[in-house]
Amino acid sequence: MGYSDHRFDVNLSILFTELPLLERPAAAAAAGFTAVELWWPWIETPTPGQAELDALKKALDDAGTQLVGLNFYAGRLPGPDRGALSVPGEESDRFRANIDVAADFAASVGCKALNALYGNRVEGADPQVQDSLALENLVLAARAADRVGAILLIEALNKPESPLYPLVSAPSAIEVVDKVNAATGLGNAKFLLDLYHLSMNGEDLNQVIDAYADKTGHVQIADNPGRGAPGSGDLDLTDLLGRLKKAGYRGWVGLEYKPGDRPSAEAFEWLAKPLRAGN
């Protein structure tokens, strides 16, 4: 098994960032990709104006690119924030204000996966209070996702780069997935399996795949060390993706790596152009 066994999409919040947001879908299409994903693009606001939403939809449509994954509002990304939904006060309120906006935009472009970053621990807040708030907000997000026929993704990050983020292992994220599904009865909460983050945590990636492939709703990849393109580090991503295939995973694989000191369009030589179309 190799890369030909998977459908790849490009994360336009880490690749093609040398271009304005509305030019990135066309650039991805020019590189041969038909599917893309995004972190919440408007980091300053959870509720952008309709004109901004319409402009992004038009850019995606004009490029012929399908949006297959979208983050809910998560504060400043890239930057120090790692989610808002478990942060008491204004940030949690901003997340709630974003839920239906993000879900409705996803529905307008046919996006079927919404990712909710859990949120950092914050000084002065009881972790148990944060966890209770997180579950409340994730239940709301799961119901909104279900309303538009989408799944809700829960992601583990890595402790070295996100030391205040509490979900820094596959089991910790799976525990939240299970709690959300138990609370809603919908079963639409899934694990976002990011091989880079899990490798940074020192987890046994083969074991994670074998244990949780059936609860995985989306996969993201980057090599380690460096968070570069496949082949730039030490991870055997061909083998790992083959193991995912054998374990039954048939979803998208998001390219969420840094292009390095070159234009993003030159960062895909590891993947033959005919394999980029996501068919």
Total tally of structural domains belonging to the chain: 1
Per-residue pLDDT, 168: 98
Does 266 participate in catalysis according to the annotation?
no
- What is the pLDDT, as a whole number, of residue 56? 99
Any catalytic annotation for residue 23?
A: no
What angle in degrees, to the nearest 10, is found between the helix axes of 50-63 and 90-109?
40
pLDDT score at 173:
98
Residue of 155, 175, 203, 266 marked active site: 155
Chain-centre distance for alpha carbon 108: 19
Question: Among 37, 91, 203, 256, which one carries the catalytic annotation?
Answer: 256
The set of residues, in sequence order, having a beta carbon less than 8 Å from that of 230 and lying 6+ positions away, is 221, 223, 237, 238, 257, 270, 271
pLDDT, one tens digit for every residue, the chain (279 residues): 469 889 999 999 999 999 999 999 999 999 999 999 999 999 999 999 999 999 999 999 999 999 999 999 999 888 889 999 999 999 999 999 999 999 999 999 999 999 999 999 999 999 999 999 999 999 999 999 999 999 999 999 999 999 999 999 999 999 999 999 999 999 999 999 999 999 999 999 999 999 999 999 999 999 999 999 999 999 999 999 999 999 999 999 999 999 999 999 999 999 999 999 987
Q: Do β-strands 252-255 and 216-221 pair in parallel, antiparallel, or remain unpaired? A: parallel
* Cα 17 to Cα 203: distance, rounded to the nearest angstrom: 30
Residue 204: which domain range?
A: 3-275
Q: What is the CATH number of the domain that holds 85?
A: 3.20.20.150
Q: What pLDDT does residue 1 have? A: 47
d(CA 3, CA 255): 12
What is the model's pLDDT at position 2?
67
